[in-house]
Amino acid sequence: MGTPAAVSPEPISSPIKETVSEEPAKAKKRGRPSNIHVVPVKKSKLSFRHSRGFGHVLTLGQGDTGQLGLGEDVMEKSRPGLVADVKDAVDVVAGGMHTVVLDKNGDVWTFGCNDEGSLGRTVAEEEECFLPGKVELPKKIVGLSSGDSHTAALSEDGEVFAWGTFRDSSGPIGLTEWKEIKFLPVPLLTGIRVVKIASGTDHLAMLTDEGELYTMGNGEQGQLGRVCEKFAHRGGRRGIAKLLQPDRVLLKPKTLKFTNVWAGSYNTVVLTSKGQTMVMGLNNYSQMGLDHKTSSLTFFMPVVSPDLSGRNLDCVSMGQHHTLALEKSGAAFALGRSEYGRLGLGENCEDATVSSPIPDMTACCEVACGSAVSYAVTNDGGCFSWGMGTNGQLGTGEEEDLWVPTRMKSKQLENRKVIAVSSGGQHTVIIAKDK
């Protein structure tokens, strides 16, 4: 493809589209011998939120480790603040205590806590963590994902780079090797072309162009979908390599393929070539569309979620104990725990064991979850928030919880359309483009 600056609107369908980097005829024109066959290199074309254009980075919530990117004097924002040091953003992800931004040129910028390598760059002074810094990567990037202490980036030719560390209930376990934090990017799955990446709190899922799914990281809640319970804590007698070395999630029959993937706090959700939605991970509040009172609290292997399979899914986001699902029609649904209003179903609602329509959220293009907060971006560029207000992530200027979706208003959003939102442990990041 061309550069990531090419952001002309197009239908949102598969996660990645393909193009060819160079034709054999062009090789001859560039002075190469005509008898050498040039093998076309497939590249991933920017899609999903990238097709909506690019804009300004806005942050809100808690920023005591620099995750707001507003300098060391700004520790919290209850209204969106402008991160002026990053221009033309096309993608953002909020980690536990750090933020990652992708610009239209395919460059990656990070800011926030770097104690466990989540920024992917050398930081000489702590003050450098409070402002965006560029991550040195060998290729243009088209996709991002991030968890509590790790970050991953997908290049235009399908290579994955990651940095930081995964953690489990006992502490850091390393990224690719036992307790070894990677402060700079390292390649993963070399030789395998990945078309989409997704991160939970402490795990990473990678979908290939062959319809295979690879996972790595913490598997204690079943989120890897390939490690049974007795090996989930640090690999058991099989060793930590079982968790930290990416491996395939197997399906029966073998002809069944994966077509899309999303990951949340302790969960992984996938679509299959048969149109099924399969889930793996924590289900203690029925957040995977399976009633926890009549089924398991944790699924270590992929199982079909009849409830989510009945939805024509376009986007899924998972918080600590709740899930938001978006249908291709634009209608948003909520599942799981209702505390603090994170479902958006009203103040007297109970926990949702089945996906329940969120009132008035019928024309959305994206949904996103933080730990106990929720967001929806509407087709007209509005950003709605609801859930726990304690950390100032809702953008209301107050700390009260919101039990129904409420449109975010601020000076930074005037005459701008929101095109993307991501929420981390205690902060939220928005991309807003000028109208």
Say which range, 129-133, 205-209, 295-299, 356-360, has the weakest mean pLDDT: 295-299
Q: Supply the pLDDT for residue 47.
A: 55
Q: What six digits make up the tokens of 66?
A: 């620099």
In this predicted structure, the answer to whether residue 13 has a pLDDT above a threshold of 50 is no
Predicted TM-score of the model (pTM): 0.90
Q: Are 79 and 395 a contacting pair, CB within 8 Å?
A: yes
Give every CB contact of residue 167 below 8 A, 6+ residues apart in sequence.
116, 148, 149, 173, 202, 218
- The CA distance from 93 to 75, in Å, is 19
Q: Is the pLDDT assigned to residue 4 strictly greater than 80? A: no
- pLDDT band at 7, cuts 50/70/90? very low
Q: What is the mean predicted confidence (pLDDT) over 229-252?
A: 94
Which pLDDT band holds residue 165 (cuts at 50, 70, 90)?
very high
pLDDT tens per residue, range 283-334: 999 999 999 988 889 999 999 999 999 999 999 999 999 999 999 999 999 9
Question: Residue 406 forms beta bridges with which residues?
Answer: 385
Q: What percent of the chain has pLDDT over 90?
A: 85
Does position 169 have pLDDT exceeding 90, yes or no?
Answer: yes
User: How long a stretch of residues is the chain?
Assistant: 435
| Strands of the 373-378 sheet, one edge to the other | 364-369, 373-378, 383-387, 402-407
Pair 162, 135: CB distance under 8 Å: no
Query: Is the model's pLDDT at 9 over the cut of 50?
Result: no
pLDDT digits (tens, 9 = 90+) for 32-80: 344 444 445 566 665 555 788 999 999 999 999 999 999 999 999 999 9
pLDDT at 375 over 60: yes
Share of the chain above pLDDT 70, in %: 89
Which residues contact residue 223 at a Cβ distance below 8 angstroms, ignoring those fewer than 6 apart?
200, 203, 215, 217, 263, 266, 267, 268, 280, 281, 282
Give CA 57 to chain center in angstroms. Answer: 16
Position 20 scores a pLDDT of 40
- Which whole number is the average pLDDT over 176-185? 97
18-27, 77-86, 395-404, 415-424: range with lowest mean pLDDT: 18-27
How far is CA 149 from each of CA 85, 145, 201, 238, 425, rounded to the nearest angstrom?
23, 11, 8, 24, 11
- Of the ranges 1-5, 126-130, 166-170, 222-226, which one carries the lowest mean pLDDT score? 1-5
Q: Which domains does the chain have, with CATH numbers?
A: 40-434 (2.130.10.30)
* DSSP per residue, 361-378: --SEEEEEE-SSEEEEEE
pLDDT > 50? residue 2 = no
Give the residue among 382, 389, 385, 391 at the shortest CA–CA distance from 425: 391
Short-list 254, 235, 253, 252, CA closest to 244: 235
Give CA separation, 314 vs 79, 190, 262, 271, 277, in Å: 29, 29, 10, 10, 12
Residue 295 has what pLDDT?
86
CB of 59 within 8 A of CB of 67? Answer: yes
Angle at 168 between CA 428 and CA 76, to 5 degrees: 25
Report the chain's mean pLDDT, rounded to a whole number: 90
Given a contact cutoff of 8 angstroms between Cβ atoms, the answer to whether 14 and 47 are in contact is yes
